[in-house]
């Protein structure tokens, strides 16, 4: 293929699709779907299924827009880090104008879809999440404070709230409990990653906790957060949202996360930090899956 040949449409599509951070978006939509399911007593009607599908699509579009905008802001940082150097914006495959237009189209389309077919509350909450992640976290918090993950975690904890609002037009205490679980899960999840990627963050000039406070302090914070998270994971059962099926899953998964936190605190290694990070993903996914199973079995 010559230098003047038109770009391959399939390749261009892959580049734009990569901007949406598909793996992250899958977890976001999954958590939103759990909020939708728990908000509907019993088996949903066909109308409720359609509503949930439209809400998932709208949330996916706006979340993808936030991810794409994040790629614009952080393209210089991404280029310095092995974990993110492959992104199309970091490699110069897509310029700022293309990425910004793509982000805007996704955001407007998703917001319009939520407003017209779901409800205005869900649209405004989803748009606020976009602003919280793309602007407050990415532009302000992440480069300025080691507490970026803690404060910015509020945006990442919103999906089940969005799902609940989509099905009920309201935000109840049940949605708040789901929000709290993800909010407390976020710091130990990201700090485990930051521990074994600390040189990348230092090179990029980002004040992640291992960079500013050191390895030992970060490990202690991970342990403490896993203990607090353990208590939060019991709240769905205590509040009456779930039964013993979820309780058993929450006890096992949370004990496992605490064990990883303790082992990491006592005897650090990059490999153990990687395992802790991977287990954190299993923890949240399996925890919410247990809520889903519990909802329909009992």
Which range has the worst mean pLDDT, 83-97, 205-219, 271-285?
83-97
Q: Mean per-residue pLDDT for 256-269?
A: 97
Residue ranges, comma separated, of all CATH 1.10.357.140 domains in the chain are 11-170
Can you tell me which residue has the tokens 């929450």? 250
Does the pLDDT at position 279 exceed 80? yes
Residue ranges, comma separated, of all CATH 1.20.120 domains in the chain are 172-298
Q: pTM above the 0.85 mark?
A: yes
Q: Which of 5-9, 16-20, 116-120, 293-297 has the highest mean pLDDT?
A: 116-120
User: pLDDT tens, 173-188?
Assistant: 999 999 999 999 999 9
Looking at residue 147, its pLDDT comes to 87
For 172-298, which CATH class?
mainly alpha
Strands in 95-173 per DSSP E: none
Looking at residue 10, its pLDDT comes to 67
Looking at residue 9, its pLDDT comes to 67
Q: Mean per-residue pLDDT for 126-136?
A: 91
Does the pLDDT at position 4 exceed 60? no
Mean pLDDT across the chain: 91
User: pLDDT tens, 61-73?
Assistant: 999 999 999 888 8
Looking at residue 82, its pLDDT comes to 79
Q: Which of the two residues, 142 and 194, has the higher pLDDT score?
A: 194
Where b means 16+ CB within 10 Å and e means fewer, 7-46 reads eeeeeeeebbebbbbeeebebbbbbbbbbbbbbbeeebee
pLDDT class for 296, splitting at 50, 70, 90?
confident
| Cβ-contact 207, 148 below 8 angstroms | yes
Q: Mean per-residue pLDDT for 130-137?
A: 88
* C-alpha–C-alpha distance, residues 126 and 80, integer Å: 31
Distances in Å between the Cα of 264 and the Cα atoms of 99, 159, 215, 293 are 39, 29, 10, 31
Looking at residue 7, its pLDDT comes to 58
For 11-170, which CATH class?
mainly alpha
User: pLDDT tens, 192-205?
Assistant: 999 999 998 898 88
Which range has the worst mean pLDDT, 91-100, 159-168, 207-216?
91-100
Looking at residue 81, its pLDDT comes to 81
- Percentage with pLDDT > 70 across the chain: 96
pLDDT class for 137, splitting at 50, 70, 90?
confident
């Amino acid at each position: 293929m010559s230098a003047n040949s038109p770009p391959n449409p399939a390749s261009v599509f892959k580049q734009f699709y990569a901007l949406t951070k598909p793996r992250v978006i899958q977890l976001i939509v999954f958590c939103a779907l759990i909020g939708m399911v728990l908000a509907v007593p019993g088996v949903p009607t066909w109308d409720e299924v359609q509503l949930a599908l439209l809400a998932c699509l709208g949330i996916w579009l706006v979340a993808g827009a936030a991810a794409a905008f994040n790629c614009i802001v952080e393209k210089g940082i991404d280029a310095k880090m092995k974990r993110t150097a492959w992104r199309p914006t970091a490699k110069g495959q897509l310029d700022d104008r293309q990425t910004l237009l793509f982000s805007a189209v996704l955001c407007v389309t998703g917001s319009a879809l939520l407003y017209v077919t779901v409800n205005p509350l869900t649209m405004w909450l989803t748009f606020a999440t976009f602003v919280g992640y793309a602007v407050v976290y990415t532009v302000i918090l992440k480069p300025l404070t080691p507490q970026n993950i803690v404060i910015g975690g509020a945006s990442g904890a919103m999906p089940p709230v969005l799902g609940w609002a989509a099905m009920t037009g309201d935000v109840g205490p049940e949605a708040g409990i789901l929000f709290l679980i993800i909010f407390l899960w976020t710091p130990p999840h990201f700090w485990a990653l930051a521990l074994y990627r600390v040189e990348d963050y230092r090179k990029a000039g980002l004040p992640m906790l291992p960079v500013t406070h050191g390895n030992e302090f970060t490990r202690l914070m991970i342990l403490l957060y896993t203990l607090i998270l353990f208590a939060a994971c019991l709240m769905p059962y205590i509040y009456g949202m779930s039964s013993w099926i979820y309780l058993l899953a929450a006890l096992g998964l949370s004990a496992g996360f605490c064990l990883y936190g303790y082992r990491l605190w006592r005897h650090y290694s990059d490999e153990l930090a990687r395992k802790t990070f991977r287990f954190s993903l299993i923890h949240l996914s399996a925890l919410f899956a247990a809520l889903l199973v519990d909802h329909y079995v009992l």
